[in-house]
Structure 1
């Protein structure tokens, strides 16, 4: 009789690459500055600011999740 073992693998999380996050952070930060000095509505600049904040938070989270102790 053959025994079959099932291997439990951890669920792979989809991670965005760091260079892409850095590029998005730069784009959103520049867009936030441009909308701040232009006559566009405030909520457009707030949206870019929140997107930049989300990119920065994701980069910080990835840094602490993968750093060696």
Structure 2
């Protein structure tokens, strides 16, 4: 792998973790506040997508 690929991958993970935390908190807040169900579903889908992307990124870039 080149250094450029490592640099870009190095920035992706912190952004995904930040989005995961923010969307999970927004999902919990929307659910607790009794907000529109579609807002909760949207935040939940973003949370799920971030988690899945982090798992895929981990398995593709792990060292063997």
Measured against the shorter chain, the TM-score band is: 0.7 to 0.9
Per-residue deviation, 1:39: 2.5
Higher helix content, 1 or 2: 2
CA separation in 1, counterparts of 2:57 and 2:24?
20
Aligned length: 57
Does residue 47 of the first structure (1) align with residue 37 of the second (2)?
A: no
For residue 29 of structure 2, the aligned residue among 25, 34, 48 is: 34
- Runs of 5+ in structure 2 lacking a partner? none
TM-score by length of 2: 0.80
TM-score by length of 1: 0.75
RMSD of aligned C-alpha atoms?
Answer: 1.7
- Runs of 5+ in structure 1 lacking a partner? 1-11
Q: Which runs of 4+ in 1 moved over 4 A?
A: none
